[in-house]
């Protein structure tokens, strides 16, 4: 594959006709920690190229929901489907699924003994067994896109929090996932670094990457989301377009939650 | 002129014999250390697994190695096996075996400590990338744990080198035993020989252990920067 082909593939805005087909479907998902329910009965559908922002007070189960989507948590009941295939059987090979589902966490989770580039190439080379040259080109294209190419030989400890999170996003993106999950990835950042990470996510949203984002950045949610899912006490309380949710929330719980952010 | 005991060291083949003794000590120690370092890694990883039965077995083995003195283990493997099961190990083989079993247990505990000190997120993000269990340990966990277990591993190595002096009790003539023989055979002629012979042995043990701790310092410095 030539460089330009890789570049085209990575930079391509996905065709609009794919839009609207379900990509990830969750039905009646139940998750308990030692008998205490964390997610009660979640049903949710995420369509291709859709950006869904999950909001809710801390402890409402939004992070748990994301972790269930990636098989990091065992679930007690319910079903998760990716592209129509059931993920929640005993035989599910999560290694394969996780290549299609990229995830970025709140805490900086780059591998500290590897350079930025080594971090990014680990998945493509060892998991996907791609050719080094092709993977390096893909990494370069993506690093340039987020302005980190000069930092490719740096170790994580030499980076700022914002740079680390951008690198972590690239590490997930280089696997060419079908959907990206973001778990409060700006929550641990200094305020002046939040923006640079949000910008990367916003750009991804514009290139029609399918995304599920857990965040507390309300302005960002308004700008990026196609849909807001509001959760409280392990349930989906509201599921509506951002215009509706922020202007006239349907439930009292959502109103109370939004009021926290008003001064 | 009054006799200087130091002459004992250069008389006849005394120095040669001491150095041969050093070689015996070094051989047993380094073979056992090499096996322990290699086997200790999988053993340490086993100790971190959640399976309760497995954890109990590992714990039992570690504690058995710790509580029962190495000397007793040497007797068990050299005399005990021969008497009760007619397995006749050579003294050197028994020594290497016992020191390896002990070293593996101790090394395993050091590896366990290093592995569990890594943050849970390292496992999760490796899983999220789709790494298999083996790849997770090979590329993420072991390289990071290695940096943390160097001080403990070096400490264990020098301890093992020094403890090899016990093998004389199953009939292996190593450096310390050679030294005692030299002292005894020169007892009347030069009563101060003990000082010089033990002095040299001290120095030889130092030569054996020093490169190991120098290596650890260098590794620590390299991984720090």
* CA distance, residue A99 to nearest chain B CA (Å): 6
Mean pLDDT of all residues in chain B? 83
Cα B47 from Cα B57, distance rounded (Å): 9
Strand-strand pairing, A210-214 and A51-55: parallel
Of A178, A191, A254, A235, nearest to A217 by C-alpha is A191
Burial of B89 (0-12, 13-18, 19+ CB in 10 A): middle
Beta bridge partners of A37: A32
- The contact set of B with A (CB < 8 A) is 119, 121-122, 124-132, 135, 139-140, 143-144, 147
Inspect the interface and report whether the beta carbons of B128 and A98 lie closer than 8 Å: yes
Of the listed ranges A41-55, B145-159, B174-188, the one predicted with least confidence: B174-188
Inspect the interface and report whether the beta carbons of B135 and A72 lie closer than 8 Å: no
Inspect the interface and report whether the beta carbons of B122 and A126 lie closer than 8 Å: no
Over the stretch B19-30, which tens digit does the pLDDT of each residue have? 787 888 888 888
Residue B201 confidence (pLDDT) above 90: no
What's the pLDDT score for residue B187?
73
Inspect the interface and report whether the beta carbons of B130 and A72 lie closer than 8 Å: no
Over the stretch A23-62, which tens digit does the pLDDT of each residue have? 888 888 888 888 888 888 888 899 888 999 999 888 888 8
Q: Are A41 and A28 in contact (CB under 8 A)?
A: yes
Top CATH class of B7-224 equals mainly alpha
Residues 6+ positions from B93 with CB-CB distance below 8 Å: none
List of chain A residues whose C-beta atoms are within 8 Å of the C-beta of residue B131: 95, 122-123, 126-127
Of the listed ranges B41-50, B59-68, B140-149, B185-194, the one predicted with least confidence: B185-194
B182-200 mean pLDDT: 76
Q: Domain of residue A144: give its range.
A: 3-7+19-259
Report yes or no on A13 lying in a domain.
no
Report yes or no on A25 lying in a domain.
yes
Total tally of structural domains belonging to chain A: 1
Report yes or no on A14 lying in a domain.
no
- The closest CB to that of B130, out of A98, A105, A113, belongs to A98
CATH number at residue A42: 3.40.50.300
Inspect the interface and report whether the beta carbons of B128 and A107 lie closer than 8 Å: no
Report yes or no on A240 lying in a domain.
yes
Q: What is the DSSP letter of B202?
A: H
Beta bridge partners of A212: A52, A181
What's the pLDDT score for residue A119?
93
ipTM score of complex: 0.82
Cα A71 from Cα A82, distance rounded (Å): 12
- A-interface mutation test, from B127, B128, B149, most A Cβ less than 10 A away: B128
B171-197 mean pLDDT: 76
Report yes or no on A12 lying in a domain.
no
> Can you give the residue ranges of every domain in chain B?
7-224
Residue B65 confidence (pLDDT) above 80: yes
**Chain A residue nearest residue B146, CA to CA:** A113
Contact pairs from chain A to chain B, CB under 8 Å = 60
* CA distance, residue A250 to nearest chain B CA (Å): 35
Over the stretch A97-136, which tens digit does the pLDDT of each residue have? 888 888 998 887 899 999 999 999 999 999 989 999 999 9
What helix, strand, coil percent values describe chain B, rounded to 5? 85, 0, 15
Q: What confidence tier does B100 reach under pLDDT thresholds 50, 70, 90?
A: very high
Of the listed ranges A16-25, A193-202, B198-207, the one predicted with least confidence: A16-25
Helix axes B14-47, B91-116, angle to 10 degrees: 40
């Amino acid at each position: 594959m030539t460089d330009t082909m890789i570049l085209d593939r990575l930079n391509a805005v996905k065709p609009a006709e794919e839009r609207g087909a379900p990509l990830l479907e969750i039905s009646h998902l139940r998750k308990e920690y030692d008998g205490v329910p964390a997610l009660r009965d979640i049903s949710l559908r995420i369509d291709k190229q859709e950006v869904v922002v999950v909001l809710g007070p801390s402890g409402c189960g939004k992070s748990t929901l994301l972790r269930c989507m990636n098989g990091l948590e065992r679930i007690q009941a319910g079903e998760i489907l990716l592209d129509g295939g059931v993920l929640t059987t005993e035989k599910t090979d999560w290694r394969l699924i996780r290549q299609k589902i990229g995830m970025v966490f709140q805490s900086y989770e780059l591998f500290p003994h590897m350079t930025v580039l080594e971090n990014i190439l680990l998945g493509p080379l060892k998991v996907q067994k791609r050719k080094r040259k092709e993977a390096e080109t893909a990494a370069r294209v993506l690093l340039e896109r987020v302005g980190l190419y000069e930092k490719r030989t740096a170790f994580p400890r030499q980076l700022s929090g914002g740079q680390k999170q951008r690198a972590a996003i690239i590490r997930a993106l280089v696997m060419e996932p079908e959907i990206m999950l973001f778990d409060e990835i700006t929550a641990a950042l200094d305020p002046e670094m939040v923006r640079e990470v949000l910008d990367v996510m916003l750009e991804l949203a514009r290139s029609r990457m399918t995304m599920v984002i857990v965040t507390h950045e309300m302005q960002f949610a308004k700008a990026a989301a196609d849909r807001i899912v509001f959760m409280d006490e392990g349930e989906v309380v509201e599921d509506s377009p951002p215009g509706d949710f922020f202007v006239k929330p349907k439930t009292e719980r959502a109103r109370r939650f939004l009021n926290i952010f008003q001064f | 002129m009054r006799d200087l005991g130091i002459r004992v060291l250069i008389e006849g083949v005394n120095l040669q014999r001491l150095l041969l003794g050093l070689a015996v000590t070094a051989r047993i120690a380094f073979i056992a250390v090499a096996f322990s370092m290699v086997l200790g890694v999988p053993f340490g990883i086993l100790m971190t697994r959640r399976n309760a039965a497995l954890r109990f077995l590992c714990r039992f083995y570690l504690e058995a190695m710790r509580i029962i003195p190495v000397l007793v283990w040497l007797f068990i493997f050299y005399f005990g096996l021969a008497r009760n099961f007619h397995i006749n190990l050579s003294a050197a083989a028994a020594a290497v075996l016992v020191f390896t079993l002990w070293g593996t247990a101790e090394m395993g505990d050091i590896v366990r400590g290093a592995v569990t000190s890594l943050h849970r997120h390292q496992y999760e993000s490796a899983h999220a990338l789709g790494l298999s269990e083996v790849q997770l340990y090979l590329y993420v966990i072991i390289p990071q744990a290695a940096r943390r277990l160097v001080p403990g591993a070096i400490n264990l190595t020098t301890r093992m080198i020094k403890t090899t002096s016990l093998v004389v009790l199953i009939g292996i003539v190593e450096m310390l035993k050679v030294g005692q023989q030299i002292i005894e055979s020169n007892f009347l002629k030069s009563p101060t020989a003990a000082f010089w012979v033990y002095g040299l042995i001290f120095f030889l043990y130092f030569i054996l252990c020093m490169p190991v701790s120098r290596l650890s310092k260098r590794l620590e410095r390299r991984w720090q920067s």
